[in-house]
Amino acid sequence: MKRVLIAGGAGFIGSHLCELLVKQGNEVICIDNFYTGSKRNISRLLDFNNFEIIRHDVTFPIYLEVDEIYNLACPASPIYYQNDPVQTLKTCVHGSINLLGLSKRLKAKIFQASTSEVYGDPESSPQSESYWGRVNPIGIRSCYDEGKRCAETLFFDYHRQHGVSIRVARIFNTYGPHMRHDDGRVVSNFIVQALRGDPISVYGDGRQTRSFCFVSDMITAITKFMEVSEEFCGPLNLGNPVETTIIDVARQVVDLTGSKSKIVHCPLPYDDPRQRKPDISKAKKVIDWEPNIDLRSGLIQTIEYFEKDLSGTTA
């Protein structure tokens, strides 16, 4: 049994990670400032003796004794990270420094949840780990994009300079239960609008693409990556390589919900990437992983979650 710290553990992906590690018998400490995380996401874990939650902001140091650290502390939704861009950047940079310092002191392995946004609006597809990206350093998305890029730099410098055992994963669009209904991301937006009978807001012509990975597949990948040998520490693309247009996602959601909602087109947000498609050949080789759940199956499970969430019956 390991003692594991999960920063951002009450968030969308973090809560699923907490649940898996707790059920495996590990002692899990979840820290979260609840800016985008929710107590409801981890409420069913509160009765477990091997689970503990601490309200804490990672921009301030924390002193604990643990064997492993997962850093998922940062809002990933444009609505939330753009609402307080300075704090977003501090979370990426100061948060990484604080958790890396803890990892260095304890000699604890540490995982960094980086993002496909480090590639910016890419000039090549699919995006491989060797691609350096095309990112606007002063745009409205820069607090997140450049914050995550700087976090990667910190992780690799701590690894090279101090011998810290790191794992850096670039997570592509992930969806599923525990997403916030108001986070403004594609899947949650479309499902909530469809269930409410509101117009489905497609930005631009809808021909921009994303690659959607169901959360259970992502959690499997993250935990497998944490267990690989010291020879490979990343960066590692994690995501679904099946590319889908935004307009097609909207149509699938309308069909699966039986909604009468109409699709409407809105102005494309500034610096919105035109394409996302991960090259996961390295993940297949290094951690023997690829996603198993197709978009339709994942959408059905996510719609069931939101139906309960909007009716107030979700635990």
HEC-encoded secondary structure of 128-170: CCCCCCECCCCCCCHHHHHHHHHHHHHHHHHHHHHCCCEEEEE
Which band of pLDDT confidence, cut at 50, 70 and 90, is reported for residue 313? low
Average pLDDT over residues 207-212: 93
Residues with a catalytic annotation lie at 144
pLDDT band at 315 (very low <50, low <70, confident <90, very high): very low
Q: Which residues pair with 169 in a beta bridge?
A: 113, 236
* Helix and strand element counts for the chain (H, E): 9, 13
Q: For the residues 42-71, what does the mean pLDDT come to?
A: 97
Q: Is the pLDDT of residue 160 over 70?
A: yes
Q: What is the DSSP string of 284-307?
A: HHHS-------HHHHHHHHHHHHH
Order of strands across the sheet that contains 27-32: 51-55, 27-32, 3-7, 68-71, 109-115, 166-171, 236-238
| Per-residue pLDDT tens digits for 81-100 | 999 999 999 999 999 999 99
Query: What average pLDDT does the chain have?
Result: 95
Show Cβ contacts of residue 128 under 8 Å, excluding neighbours closer than 6 positions. 237, 279, 281, 282
Tokens of 21: 């590690």
- pLDDT > 70: percent of the chain: 98
Share of the chain above pLDDT 90, in %: 89
- The pLDDT value recorded for residue 184 is 84
pLDDT band at 310 (very low <50, low <70, confident <90, very high): confident
Which has the closest alpha carbon to 301: 263, 256, 262? Answer: 256
pLDDT at res. 269? 78
Q: What is the mean predicted confidence (pLDDT) over 194-211?
A: 94
Region 56-73 average pLDDT: 98
**How much is the pTM?**
0.94
| Residue pLDDT, tens place only, 109-149 | 999 999 999 999 999 899 999 999 999 999 999 999 999 99
Which run of H or of E encompasses 68? Answer: strand 68-71
| Tens of pLDDT, residues 222-258 | 999 999 877 799 999 999 999 999 999 999 999 999 9
List domains and CATH numbers for the chain: 3-176+214-239+274-291 (3.40.50.720)
Residue 275's pLDDT band (boundaries 50, 70, 90)? confident
pLDDT number for residue 120: 93
The rounded distance, in Å, linking the Cα atoms of 15 and 34 is: 12
